[in-house]
């Protein structure tokens, strides 16, 4: 799920504006760090991402109305 949403939302802007505390998000989206070792979002980061996405969607809904 995490990888697919970033096909539609630019990850750089999203993490900069909504989750500046999450580091190495590009590696985590890709699934590998610079050395090729597997890396993924922690369960806490996944919860934060879901909250930030719902906040983004609410803002989008308000701007459309």
pTM: 0.84
Give me the domain span that covers residue 53.
2-64
More confident residue, 61 or 4: 61
Of the pLDDT bands very low, low, confident and very high (cuts 50, 70, 90), residue 51 is very high
Q: pLDDT digit string (tens) for 4-47?
A: 888 888 999 999 999 999 999 999 999 999 999 999 999 999 99
Of the pLDDT bands very low, low, confident and very high (cuts 50, 70, 90), residue 1 is low
- DSSP states of the chain: -HHHHTTTS-HHHHHHHH-TT---HHHHHHTB-TTS-B----HHHHHHHHHHHHHHHHHHHHHH-
pLDDT at 7: 86
> How many structural domains are present in the chain?
1
């Amino acid at each position: 799920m995490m990888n697919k949403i970033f096909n539609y939302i630019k990850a750089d802007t999203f993490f900069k504006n909504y989750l500046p505390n999450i580091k190495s998000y590009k590696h985590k989206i890709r699934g590998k760090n610079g050395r090729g070792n597997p890396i993924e979002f922690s369960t806490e980061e996944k919860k934060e991402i879901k909250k930030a996405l719902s906040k983004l969607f609410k803002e989008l809904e308000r701007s459309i109305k």
